[in-house]
Amino acid sequence: MRTTLDCMVCFMQQALSTARLSSSDSEVHHKIVKATGNLLSSLDLSLSPPENAVAVYKQIVEMTGVSDPFYQHKIESNSFALRLRDQVRERIENAENSLYAAVCFAIAGNIIDYGVQHEFDALDIFSKCLENNFCIDDFELLSKEVNSSEKLNILYLADNCGEIVFDGLLVEQLQQCGHVVTLVVRGGQILNDVTMESAVDVGIDDICTIISNGTSCPGTPLEESSGELQKAFSSADLIISKGQGNFETLSGVDGPIYFLLTVKCSVVAQHITSLKNITVDTITGSGEFVLMKTGKSSSAPHPESSLPAHGQNVRHRG
């Protein structure tokens, strides 16, 4: 997925938000906005938005000296998710289809994201999680592969703090089906994305192997990733890609990939629409649930399954 002009506007908004997290000095905010404006003109639009975001956030770190401006947000996100973990695990175990329930909660967890310019009512979404239909629903394909008699080597590309807790519950379900799961985290601090430290903090290392993708990109740019990640990617029988950033960097990559995400951006919504040849306006970037396997075998979207109709509270951040 390429960077668009709309992404430029988003980068500027994110730069100001991050500047305010990094410093209380309005003059610093002004300097960062000006510097970001200058930087944007040099970005390569052929790259994905997450790849270009690296330069934006690196510049802010250099100007403020704050290496992890989202540190407190990450702590709060993980704490929020950990408080819900036992309750969510119980709902998954008691569900008619535990794998489906785990997928739903994992996707719902993707709403915990400080890198988008919206706020979503996470608690409301979790309470209605199993009532929401997917706008694109390839669960039947995923279920068929996971429930086959073959033991699969599954690569799970994680995204953000907070949601990593619910990723762990889906990992448990995949393991109960007899599969080996390796979880991938970011190689460096960026936004509220999950790193090795964050994953260990919530105990994911107790249930599966964790590896780093070797980059501080809020996605998975394969060519820039570590040799360990590239080897794991090429040898995986099935790949679960969580979140927008991973989708943006991998949507054009061939492989046995299932994308699990909530769509929180109109540019991503348009890209999905283009990939799936969707003619109805069911994906707008307002938090729709998507479980999509790219390729001809994936299913069509459900026109009636827009998430806001199920009571989602969405408001723009200033």
Distance CA 167, CA 155 (A): 12
Residue 77: how many CA atoms within 13 Å on its side-chain side?
26
Mean pLDDT for all residues in the chain: 88
- For the segment 93-126, what is each residue's pLDDT rounded down to a tens digit? 999 999 999 999 999 888 776 554 444 455 566 6
- Whether the predicted pLDDT of 172 surpasses 90: yes
The answer to whether the Cα torsion of 107, 111, 114, 116 is positive or negative is: positive
Six token digits for residue 179: 């599969």
Q: Where are the alpha helices (DSSP H) in 23-97?
A: 26-40, 49-64, 71-94
Among the listed residues 188, 195, 125, the one whose alpha carbon sits nearest the alpha carbon of residue 159 = 195
pTM: 0.89
Q: Where are the domains of the chain?
A: 5-64, 71-316
First to last CA, the chain: 27
- CATH architecture type of domain 71-316: 3-Layer(aba) Sandwich (3.40)
- For the segment 283-315, what is each residue's pLDDT rounded down to a tens digit? 888 888 999 997 544 454 544 433 333 333 222
Distance CA 76, CA 201 (A): 12
Q: 261 Cβ partners below 8 Å, 6+ apart?
A: 107, 110, 242, 243, 244, 246, 247, 290
